[in-house]
Structures are given as C-alpha cells and as structure tokens.
Structure 1
Amino acid sequence: MSAPAADHPVLSAVRTHSLAENPSSFLALNAGNDVFAAPDAEGVIVYRRTGRHVVQFGGPFASPDSYGTLLERFVEHVRDRGLRLVGVQLQRADAERYAAAGFTVNQIGASWAVGLADFALRGTRFMQLRNKISRALRSGLQVKEVTADDWYEALARIDGAWLGSKGEHARPLEFLVGEVGGQFQAHRRLFLGTIDGSPVAYISYSPVYGSRAGWMHDLSRRVPDGSPGLMEAINAHAIEQFRSEGVQWLHFGFTPFTGLDSRHELPGHSPSFQWLMHCLWAQGEQLYPARSQLAYKQKWAPDLAIPEYIAFDGQASLASFAHVFRACNAF
C-alpha cells in the first residue's frame, strides 16, 4: 500500500531539503519515477531507467549532511549494475557537487521566474501581451480555478486535440514536465478557461519550495483552433490570484538550450557539449521548440534566469544525452 500523500518520502524530501533550490522539484512526484534511498543517508534520489542508462532528475533531495553519502551510494548502485548515469536539471549547487565528484557537468538550459510582489501588466513592454489577453476575453473566455476531479474528461479532450495538432508522430512528454491527476493532485492548482461553458484551455501550477517559494507554471494545453491569447489570459488571472494571496514568485520552469552563457560553465565541462547546446538553440527547433517556449516566458519579463545543468558519469556522451529525451518519452 502506498504512503498517504502527506507522508510520502519523496514529498517530504522535496519540501524539506531545499539545498539546491530546484524550482521543478515537485516533478519528482510524477507517476512512473523510481526512487533510491540509502539506510545511512536522509533523503531520496529520483530517476528513470531507459535501456542501459539511468536518468536522474535533479540532484539528491537530501539533508546537507547526507547529500554526499546519498550521491555516492547511488553512483555505486548504478555502476554495480553496469549502467550509465546521467543527471539532468541539476541546479548550480548540485552542479558544483557533481563536478567535485568527478562528473562532467555542462549547462543545458535555464529556468525562468517572475517576482510577483511588484508585478503589474502596465507599461509599453506589456502592450502586446495586454492586447492578446483582451482579445481572448472579448471572445468570451472565462477563467476560474477548478478541482481536477470534476474536469478530467474535459481535460482529456483538450489534451487529445492539442496532441493531435502536433502531428501523427507526436508523443506526450513525461518526466521533466508535470501532470494532472494522481496521488498528489491536491498539492497542485488548476486554472481552466471556458468559452460558452466549453473548456478550451488550462494551466496546471505546481508548488515551489525553498527561498523562492511560490508556484510553477507547469503543464498547459489549449484547443488548437482557439482564440489567440488563451494561455496568456489564464496565466494573468492566476497571477492576480497568487498576488492576492501574497505569493512571491511565479516560476516558468526549465527550457533546454536557453539562457546559455559561458560564465555559467564549471571547470572541467565539455567544450564539445557546450557547442552542441548552442547549436541546438540555433537550429534544434525540430528536436525541442525552445525558441517558442522562451518567447512565451519572456512575454512576462522574467526577473531571473536560473542556469540548469546536465551531469555525465564520465565523459559527456551523446548517447546519454539522447536517453534524457527517451526518459521524457520524446522518442
């Protein structure tokens, strides 16, 4: 029998151990993840196995005293089984620990965050955003926060229409994106947009812990033939709700290949992998739509770009990098 959501060891770990300040930490609770723990260390490591690779999400969610021990035990566990380890969405504090442990660590992208204390959609820089929101509202869009249990069928229809618009070979991403439903849904928040009572779009927000606590703009879907500005209008509504509650930060999550800067790289990084990340930012839209993802996030004038890292046990490996996408169900 699974642990009640409030007592779940992974939930407890991501809430309690904020050493790395990972804004995506709640994704550790996604269905399908595996969990590693050691009897002599406090905390957990979350991962998925794909073929002969183990893809770890974030660093250890562990107390400072147990972090190194838990990482060492996990590396032994993976190596003893003849597998290759790659960690993704490491934060800077994680990256430094992994580099010191002999991993090859490179920046892979960034996550983005907006401070809400003084946020307002005033001024010329938000004019286009305001126009899109107004257009969606003029089309009859109404936005409300809802309970997912009451709307699963409608959400599934939106998901199906959205995925169908991506082409016959499109697959729903997992692992590094959130989900709706399951054991931990009560900890998320869901904002739904309807027109004439019919659901047309939604955004799910996941909790963020640590010194920049708040919510993360996570899973978002819309019907492909809907009015422009649906997502913007839903997010603007959610921001006003969060601000009324005193929430300090809205995070927009991780986007690979964005925010790349040589100043973020650590000693011992792979120059060839660094080149690959810049190449994928320039020409990799078929692999991942990083430019369009970033364009949406930049509409909200983020205050922070938080570098995120990938760590290879040994040399940087294109095969290991590909297995990150396998773990995400990208192919």
Structure 2
Amino acid sequence: MKKYYYGLLLLYSSVIILAIVFVTVDSLGLDFAKLITDFWTFEQFLFSIIFLIFAVTILLLLLWVILDDNSKRSINQNLRRILNNQPLKLDEDSEINLNLLRLSKKMSHLTTSLQNTENARILKGQEIVKQERKRIARDLHDTVSQELFASSMILSGVSMNVEHLETEQLQTQLKAVEELLQNAQKDLRILLLHLRPTELENRTLSEGFDMILKELTDKSDIEVVYQKNIGKLPKAMEDNLFRIAQEFISNTLKHAQASRLEVYLNQSETEIQLKMVDNGRGFDMDTTHDLSYGLNNIEDRVDDMAGTIKLLSQPGKGVSMDIRLPLVQKEMDDDVEVEEEQK
C-alpha cells in the first residue's frame, strides 16, 4: 500500500474518533471539567467511546468485505470473458480495469497469432506430405517400376519366342529376369527402410544404434562396421544423435549406392563423437548436391547442441561425417536425477 493511503486511513480514523467523542459528550450533556473530576462518569464515558469505536469498526469491516467481494466477482467475470474471447464489461477506468483491458487485447493477439501459426503449420505439413508423395512416386518409378517393367518385357519376349530359343539363351534370359527381380526387391526394401524411421523411445542411444544398424544389415547388402564406447548421455542429446544417424543412413541408402558403412560412437569426459563413413559415390561439396536437405537437418541439430560437424566428400570417394558435441557435467547430473525421480 502506498504511503498516502496510510495517511488517509490515519486521518479518517482520527476524524471518526473525534466525531464519536463529540457525539458522546454532547448526548450525555457532559463537560470535560466534570469528566476529569468524576471518575465514575469518566469510566462510563470511556466505555461508551470504546463500544462505539468497536461498532463502527465492525460496520466498516463488513462494508469492506462486501465491496471486496463485489470487486472480485467483477474481476472474475471479466477474466472469464477474456478466456472466452468476449468483450469486457468495465464500469470505470480504474487501474485494474485498464490492466484487464490490456490483458484482453494481448490474449486476443496471442489467439490470432496461435491460429495463424497453427494454420501455417498445417499448410506446411500438407506441403511436406505432398512433396514426400511425389518423391516416393519418383523413387518407385526410377527403381522398382523400371525393373519390373524390364522383367515383364523380357518375360513377354521369352513367352512369344520360347519355341525358337535354345536352352542356353532361355537360361540367360531367365537369369536376367531373376537379377532384375532381386534388384527390385532390394530397392523396395531400401525404400521401405528409408520411409519408416524408428523412434528411440525408452532405449539408450547404444541400443538404438544396435537396432537401426541390424535392420540396415538385414534389409540391404551394405556391410556395416560399428564400434562404440559410450555411457549415459542426456536424453535430448541421445534423441538428436539418433536422428542424425537415421538421416545419414537414409541419405546413404537413397543416394550413395554404397556397399560399406562405418559407424564410430565414442564418449570422453568432455565430448561425444559420432563419425559415419560410407564408400558411395560421394558428391562435389562446392556445388549444390542432392543431400543438401538432409545435411541441413543434421547441421541444425548439431548447432542446437553447440557442437561442430566436419563433412568430407568427393565424387567417387564416398562421404565422411565427423560430429563432436561438448558434454556438460551439470546437464548429465540433472538428467540422472530426473530419471531417479521418475523411478
């Protein structure tokens, strides 16, 4: 409460007490000289004053409670109107009402911004889905569809000329069809692996790497070399590293035409290193390349964790990615405490 409020309260209380004294003296027909000399009269006078002050105090408190309750009801109603995005009902230009009005305008602005952001997110999501569908259709057409079409043409030619073909020619044609179908099956598995990114969920980073690299080995002909020396990491860092590895593997499957993938995951007291190398066709780092979108995602994640990334590649020489992320002991301790509390 401000100082002048205390001053007004003191002044009001003094006026009330003086008025009560004056009214009491006047109603009893007393004078101050008689009050001082007559103890019994003075005692009655003092009791009357105290009783009147107490009664007036109770009355003022009751009045304050009623006014405070009405004020709270009015504020509560206006807060409900703000939550329901309705116009306010303000009876006077008090400081509280002005603050409620400003709050209403801010809530309206935030609601509009949120709706615009949500609409933009939905439109962006729809555009991403549209682009992804086009990419899937293009990948299917460029790989599986072409191989199945070639197999169909060969089989059609064989069926039309089977009586005129020698056994050796027939075996050659059928072997070519078999190879095309095997390639189509391989490309389809790779495409499905690329389309179905898995979640780390409740696994550790080491368990997540074991899972995706085993799936890569089972569904492709890529030789995988995996070395790890890693302990417990903060959850956010594990999720980001897992996504980075998925992005690199996806790019290797889609673009690199690699036969070998090396993954090294090492942890020291001050940093975590993720190094991934493939022996694919690589790309020219001085020009725009097909992996730019995926690499931008990787670089954004590394930047978010205050890390560094070193990328090396040449046409026909494969791709090497070396990521270093700093480890802060406090973050690791906090992460461990959160896990213990959850248990």
Structure whose residues are more often strand by fraction: 1
The alignment's TM-score, normalised by the length of structure 1, stands at 0.18
Higher relative contact order (CA 8 A, sep 6+): 1
Rg comparison, structure with higher value: 2
The answer to which structure has the higher helix fraction is 2
